[in-house]
Chains A and B, each alone.
Chain A
């Protein structure tokens, strides 16, 4: 069924179709409509789930960690301050090897208060052991949440689906909402091999001494490495089931490009227009959309950028004292490649400032002209 819905409701429908069994959430703009819609779905019986209306995001994460440990499929959604409050438990979720799925609507952090989009909130959680995907439009929101459940349960690690505040969350777009039986065919029933059960009593997340702790971390890293391929396969399966293809990365006109513009999330839309216009003028430019951020698809990024002259990376986030986080990751990924491009890092659009096709075109033209890249340039 094709409907015109906001990004937040695309997330709610995906959670309904995934048959989440326990949901716990706390209101925060711009996420709230996801859980309002899920409350309606639970109340009307469309979704047979328990919905815990908890008193904080911290408790939301604590209770879905507990529910997942008890053997059910779970969901929560948050944003910005709420995600920051959860930080401690994000580590707990991955350490406990739980296949949680969470939506984070990217919003700038205080102070001062700002409810508009920026990705520093989720990128600041990059070392918590969560997989992270950044999506471009409302259809991709729905499809990626389904992909997230499938991968999380396969690799026993949590997955965060991130999209931009207001630009996606509150914007209405046509979205194909698949039928339940098609989703059931894509996403098998959750059947965990270990759960809290008095008939088989085990101690979960007990004290771990140095002789075991590092092995446990080693296995998380192994699963993260494995996850790159699992995400790729799940993206192909999405195509087989629903006709829409999602790679870990997407490249546009990069084969013969000398310069590549690199984006993530909703700014990829305007970037497509900017690249199309420059191409029409004969500029040898391509586009790389980074969709999977953790685990970082290093080999795929290398393949996309090796041999290019310049990579122009636009970050809607900042690690103060260093720069854009995607730019830094890509710089690191390319560091041992002989034929590597010069990396132009731009920070733009913080706190919800518009990133338009014209703006991206101007950045691209500037980088095309310059011989040597600045380490970081903040585009005010």
Chain B
């Protein structure tokens, strides 16, 4: 499905403070186009704390509530509760957090909101490390990647935390992955999230040129490679059980994705071979889940 982008629907302005080639503003622009102006945005500490602009400026035409690092879920719940008691239930609440604020320090309050099934849309734009503070590893950093706290001699060991599985385990009504490389898919999912009652979660892959050590014009190409090499499959999960894969990967070897980024420069051939085996394994498991029976209906 193609979406026509109309100028009058822009809810993000120029003059924001993101780096060139950053996935963050692309994801926000698309998400707000999908949500519309009747939206309140809750932003914990993340790159978007800076991108949105300092007081008294704002790069968004919707209200923003900045909040502490670990509180996106709880703060969004608080906005929702207040809107509902005021009879403003039509207004959508968007929690917009990075991977640190979602996978790490904010996981508890996100889990709390999801378990209560508060009616919020939570979008994690994932650039796979603490980029705002200068590229420190998070639990979203992929296996063997370089960061400033996992230098090439001692790269991160162990898999990236699977946040989608964690959210699906809450039987959350709607969980999806999306990517700035697939804008129509991303917008469809954000619309679907907005139409779904209860907590919804969209995990967006969002390249970071300085952190991934790529050229700024390469962001979208690298993001597409992530999906085509099955590193970042594009899929959705309804009610924690019904899996559907939305983009068919072009089956590109992971080496092509890894070699395009400076953060993987130090990898040896055997590292790449092992990463490939793990990716193939995870892909098979995802395919199996997509073929499994699921409980019909909501768990909430």
Contacts from A to B (Cβ < 8 Å): 21-22, 24, 48-50, 52-56, 58-60, 62-72, 88-89, 92, 196-198, 200-209, 212
Does B53 have its Cβ within 8 Å of any Cβ on chain A? yes
Q: Is the CB of B58 within 8 A of A72?
A: no
For this complex, 9 residue pairs linking A to B, each with C-beta atoms less than 8 Å apart, are A55-B108, A58-B71, A65-B75, A66-B82, A89-B68, A198-B63, A202-B58, A207-B54, A208-B54
**Which of A63, A69, A201 counts the most chain B CB atoms within 10 A?**
A63
CA distance A198 to B40 in the complex (A): 7
CA distance A335 to B293 in the complex (A): 77
Q: Is the CB of B78 within 8 A of A89?
A: no
Given contacts A67-B78, A69-B79, A72-B85, contact A88 B68 (CB under 8 A): yes
Report chain B residues within 8 Å CB of A62.
67-68, 71, 74-75, 78, 109
Please give me the 7 A-B residue pairs with the lowest Cβ-Cβ distance, nearest first.
A66-B78, A63-B78, A70-B82, A55-B112, A59-B74, A62-B71, A62-B74
Given contacts A62-B68, A206-B53, A206-B58, contact A198 B91 (CB under 8 A): yes
Does B86 have its Cβ within 8 Å of any Cβ on chain A? yes
Report chain B residues within 8 Å CB of A200.
63
Report chain B residues within 8 Å CB of A204.
63-66
The chain A residue sitting closest to B66, CB to CB, is A205
Q: Is the CB of A56 within 8 A of B112?
A: yes
CA distance A58 to B78 in the complex (A): 13
The chain B residue sitting closest to A207, CB to CB, is B54
Q: Is the CB of A196 within 8 A of B40?
A: yes
CA distance A92 to B64 in the complex (A): 15
Report chain A residues within 8 Å CB of B82.
21-22, 50, 66-72
Does B26 have its Cβ within 8 Å of any Cβ on chain A? no
Does B37 have its Cβ within 8 Å of any Cβ on chain A? yes
**Which of A48, A62, A69, A204 counts the most chain B CB atoms within 10 A?**
A62
Report chain B residues within 8 Å CB of A92.
67-68
Does B166 have its Cβ within 8 Å of any Cβ on chain A? no
A31 to chain B, nearest CB (A): 19
Report chain A residues within 8 Å CB of B42.
66
CA distance A203 to B64 in the complex (A): 5
Question: Considering the complex, which residues of chain B in the window 39-55 have a beta carbon less than 8 Å from any beta carbon of chain A?
Answer: 39-40, 42, 49-50, 52-55
B52 to chain A, nearest CB (A): 6
Q: Is the CB of A201 within 8 A of B85?
A: no
Report chain B residues within 8 Å CB of A52.
77-78, 81, 116, 118
Main SS of chain B's interface residues? mixed
Report chain A residues within 8 Å CB of B62.
198, 201
Given contacts A201-B63, A206-B58, contact A54 B86 (CB under 8 A): no
B158 to chain A, nearest CB (A): 26
Q: Is the CB of A49 within 8 A of B85?
A: yes
Report chain A residues within 8 Å CB of B57.
203, 206
Q: Is the CB of B67 within 8 A of A206?
A: no
Contacts from B to A (Cβ < 8 Å): 37-40, 42, 49-50, 52-58, 60-68, 70-71, 73-79, 81-86, 91, 108-109, 111-112, 115-116, 118
Report chain B residues within 8 Å CB of A67.
78-79, 81-82
Report chain A residues within 8 Å CB of B50.
207
Number of A-B contacts (CB under 8 A): 160
Partner of B74, one of A63, A198, A206: A63
Q: Is the CB of A206 within 8 A of B85?
A: no
The chain A residue sitting closest to B64, CB to CB, is A203
A93 to chain B, nearest CB (A): 11
Q: Is the CB of B55 within 8 A of A209?
A: yes
Given contacts A48-B85, A63-B77, A203-B58, contact A53 B109 (CB under 8 A): no
Report chain A residues within 8 Å CB of B54.
206-209
Report chain A residues within 8 Å CB of B91.
198
Q: Is the CB of A21 within 8 A of B85?
A: yes
Q: Is the CB of A54 within 8 A of B77?
A: yes
Q: Is the CB of A59 within 8 A of B64?
A: no
The chain A residue sitting closest to B115, CB to CB, is A55
CA distance A351 to B65 in the complex (A): 39
Further pairs besides A201-B64, A203-B57, A204-B66: 20, Cβ < 8 Å: A21-B85, A22-B81, A50-B85, A58-B71, A59-B73, A62-B68, A63-B81, A65-B75, A66-B42, A66-B77, A66-B78, A69-B82, A70-B79, A71-B82, A198-B91, A201-B37, A201-B58, A203-B52, A203-B60, A206-B64
Q: Is the CB of B112 within 8 A of A196?
A: no
Q: Is the CB of B66 within 8 A of A66?
A: no
Q: Is the CB of B52 within 8 A of A206?
A: yes
Report chain B residues within 8 Å CB of A70.
40, 78-79, 82-83, 86
Q: Is the CB of A201 within 8 A of B60?
A: yes
Given contacts A69-B79, A70-B40, contact A54 B74 (CB under 8 A): yes
Given contacts A58-B70, A65-B78, contact A198 B39 (CB under 8 A): yes
Partner of B55, one of A53, A88, A206: A206
The chain A residue sitting closest to B73, CB to CB, is A59
Report chain A residues within 8 Å CB of B116.
52-53
Report chain A residues within 8 Å CB of B78.
22, 24, 52, 62-67, 69-70
CA distance A71 to B79 in the complex (A): 9
**Which of B40, B116, B118 counts the most chain A CB atoms within 10 A?**
B40
CA distance A60 to B91 in the complex (A): 22
CA distance A72 to B84 in the complex (A): 11
B99 to chain A, nearest CB (A): 19
Partner of B63, one of A53, A60, A64, A197: A197
The chain A residue sitting closest to B44, CB to CB, is A62
Report chain A residues within 8 Å CB of B66.
203-207
Report chain B residues within 8 Å CB of A60.
74
Report chain A residues within 8 Å CB of B79.
66-67, 69-70, 196
CA distance A203 to B63 in the complex (A): 6
Q: Is the CB of A59 within 8 A of B55?
A: no
Report chain B residues within 8 Å CB of A198.
37-40, 62-63, 91
Report chain B residues within 8 Å CB of A64.
78
Partner of A212, one of B55, B76, B83: B55
Q: Is the CB of A55 within 8 A of B65?
A: no
The chain A residue sitting closest to B39, CB to CB, is A198
